[in-house]
Amino acid sequence: MRESMEFDVVIVGAGPAGLSTACRLMQQAQKAEREISICVVEKGSEVGAHIFSGAVLEPRALIELFPDWQERGAPLNTPVTSDEIYLFQDAERAKKIPNSLVPKSMHNEGNYVISLGNLCRWLGEQAEAMGVEIFPGFSAAEILYTDEGAVKGIATGDMGVGADGNQKGSFMSGMELHAKYTVFSEGCHGHLGKQLIDKFNLDADADVQHYGIGIKELWDIDPDKHKPGLVVHGAGWPLEKGTNGGSFLYHGDNNQVVVGLVIDLSYSNPYLGPFDEFQRMKHHPVFKQTLEGGKRVAYGARAITKGGLNALPKMCFPGGLLVGCDAGTLNFAKIKGTHTAMKSGMVAAETIFDALSADDQGGRELSAFTEALQNSWVYEELHRTRNFGPAMHKFGTFWGGAFNYLDQNWFKGKLPFTLRDNKPDYAQLKEASECKPINYAKPDGKISFDKLSSVFLSNTNHEEDQPCHLQLKSKVVPVESNWAIYNGPEARFCPAGVYEFVEDAATEQMQLQINAQNCLHCKTCDIKDPSQNITWMTPEGTGGPNYPNM
């Protein structure tokens, strides 16, 4: 029998959505002079350890949450000074798009180049100072339900279980954390959020969700090349026709830049490797000239929920709410999700606080949340840009981009139709025999690097002796289907080298080897596996990357 603890609200995940929920709840409780107990569990070893984003922040939600954010020392150190957008024609050439032709949603005046990890660390401090209990290193492993089927909280994972499934000497049973309301803010494709969407059929009226994978590196560069606040975006090369995505280079503070690539997981060529595309992308003169002579400091990857309004599931269910990227509030047209995630958390907090103030004992479906969110600017923003992603999928980068320019700048997103895109990303993969292998050059060790040295810079670590957290529904599918038909795409789409097809020396049979210790918790495998055979589970708490200012 597990021990249990009672709280008013339990929040899963200390990201921008979860911490904004916690802060807003406490603010309201203080205003109403009411005691409220809030617990946040976070699987990373500390707040910020698993936070991974570009990031250019639109500060709208932060200003609403903490109007005095400057006095409180929020780490928004670098205002955006200029925007540059390129269309990459090939490995050498690029066309700079004049500002007037850029979709409005891509303009960044008033925004900041930030480290979202550091912003979350700061939000965590604010929340703790108000009395929120934050527990890093504790993963929410399962959802707990009442007999009536309402969510009543979560259970943290057991610690000290060996790879064979037996308890080790250090075994510590997980705990049940009960709450009147539980808020799920795990980020993109959370393993509990996924179960909730399924169980409560939350996506019944929504389009199929779409995802991207974002890979980025943090570099120390030559101070002479550093232009704090310069924001560079690009599309086109190295991605082949039919593959959507975009590259970025942001100049932050302290002579650091982040360089990255987002690739839509709707890509069809199984030979494509997002990691390899990113590595070769950096050799384009637009990036190379900045990076050359610099030093790579950190590396990471994370999936992105990008289906927008069309794919947004219902976000309330008995006993809880789904917020931020766990639901999919990212504004893909702006390629920003922090402000909408934060705002969705704040609206969730207000809804829950209203309920608790009316002496609600929990377990109800807070449908007021749906209405409150629809009346907020999050909905307006997502509605305006609902066609952006589907247009790119349907018409490609160029014509899709042209459509988006007209849609966003001329019609303000008010065109009287909605484009739909209902084929899941994993089903887009073509058979290897129909596709051309992509020949990626070997990394040069200066601008481009191999996977293992990259994973090393994510500081990822998992206790070695524990059950594999990447579970296969079928043991034969990886070889009989994924390898035989798709040439083992998991070895390529995993940005951390977790999946390797190796030949067994004795039998000369191909087999899938899972190096779970390398996992960056990006969730791409759970999304893109063409057989939908991989299930991402939470490993032992504190496992995973230890991102610095990512």
Partner 1 sequence: MKILVMVKRVSDPNVTIRVNADNSDVDLNNVKMALNPFCEIAVEEAVRLKEAGIASEIIALSIGSSQSQEQLRTALAIGADRALLIESDTALEPLIVAKLAAKVIEEEQPGLVLLGKQSIDTDNSQTGQMLASITGWSQGTFASKLEINGDKINITREVDSGLQTICLNMPAVVTCDLRLNEPRYASLPNIMKAKRKPLVTKAAEEYGVDLAPRIRTLKVETPNIRQGGEILSSVAELVEKLKTEKGVI
Cis before 91 (ω within 30): no
Q: What are phi and psi of 343, to 5 degrees?
A: -65, -40
When asked if residue 464 is in the footprint of partner 1 (CB under 8 A), the reply is no
Rounded to whole angstroms, the Cα distance separating 63 from 226 reads 28
Nearer to partner 1, 76 or 391 (CB): 76
Strands (E), 97-244: 112-113, 133-136, 140-145, 151-156, 159-161, 167-172, 176-184, 211-220, 230-236
When asked if residue 522 is in the footprint of partner 1 (CB under 8 A), the reply is no
When asked if residue 45 is in the footprint of partner 1 (CB under 8 A), the reply is yes
The CB-of-404 to partner 1 minimum distance in angstroms stands at 36
When asked if residue 376 is in the footprint of partner 1 (CB under 8 A), the reply is no
When asked if residue 217 is in the footprint of partner 1 (CB under 8 A), the reply is no
Q: How many CB atoms lie within 10 A of CB 433?
A: 9
- Single residue of 89, 167, 201, 254 touching partner 1 by CB under 8 A: 254
When asked if residue 533 is in the footprint of partner 1 (CB under 8 A), the reply is no
Joined tokens for residue 189: 């494709």
When asked if residue 457 is in the footprint of partner 1 (CB under 8 A), the reply is yes
Q: Is 39 a catalytic residue?
A: no
- DSSP assignment letter at 325: G
Instruction: Please pick, among 20, 21, 45, 53, the residue that the annotation labels catalytic.
Output: 53
Residue whose pair of structure tokens reads 């995993």 in the numeric block: 494
Q: Is 188 a catalytic residue?
A: no
- For the CA atoms of 504, 505, 508, 510, the dihedral, rounded to the nearest 10 degrees, stands at 20
Rounded to whole angstroms, the Cα distance separating 160 from 463 reads 9
Give me the amino acid identity at 303.
A
- Residue 177's nearest CA partner among 307, 4, 419, 302 is 4
Interface with partner 1 (CB under 8 A), residue total: 32
When asked if residue 515 is in the footprint of partner 1 (CB under 8 A), the reply is no
Do residues 43 and 140 make contact, with C-beta atoms less than 8 angstroms apart?
A: yes
Q: Of residues 395-454, which lie at the interface with partner 1 (CB under 8 A)?
A: none
When asked if residue 49 is in the footprint of partner 1 (CB under 8 A), the reply is yes
Nearer to partner 1, 121 or 386 (CB): 121
Rounded to whole angstroms, the Cα distance separating 470 from 395 reads 35
The CB-of-546 to partner 1 minimum distance in angstroms stands at 5
- Single residue of 297, 468, 479, 485 touching partner 1 by CB under 8 A: 297
Instruction: Please pick, among 302, 384, 386, 492, the residue that the annotation labels catalytic.
Output: 302
User: Buried b / exposed e across 169-189, counting CB within 10 Å, b at 16+?
Assistant: eeeebbbbbbbbbbbbbbbbb
Alpha helices in 32-139 (DSSP H): 60-65, 116-129
When asked if residue 455 is in the footprint of partner 1 (CB under 8 A), the reply is no
String of DSSP letters for 479-496: IIIIIHHHS-THHHH-TT
When asked if residue 548 is in the footprint of partner 1 (CB under 8 A), the reply is yes
Q: Is 525 a catalytic residue?
A: yes
Do residues 389 and 210 make contact, with C-beta atoms less than 8 angstroms apart?
A: yes
Q: What mask of x and - would describe binding to partner 1 in positions 73 to 102, judged by CB under 8 A?
A: ------------------------------
- Single residue of 91, 135, 360, 424 touching partner 1 by CB under 8 A: 135
When asked if residue 175 is in the footprint of partner 1 (CB under 8 A), the reply is yes
When asked if residue 518 is in the footprint of partner 1 (CB under 8 A), the reply is no
Nearer to partner 1, 153 or 488 (CB): 153
- Single residue of 46, 217, 276, 350 touching partner 1 by CB under 8 A: 46
When asked if residue 185 is in the footprint of partner 1 (CB under 8 A), the reply is no
Rounded to whole angstroms, the Cα distance separating 359 from 355 reads 7
Residues lying near partner 1 in the complex (CB under 8 A): 3, 5, 45-46, 49, 115, 117-118, 133, 135, 138, 156, 159-160, 169-170, 172, 175, 177, 220, 254-255, 295, 297, 456-457, 459-461, 546, 548-549
Q: Name the residues annotated as catalytic.
A: 53, 302, 338, 494, 519, 522, 525
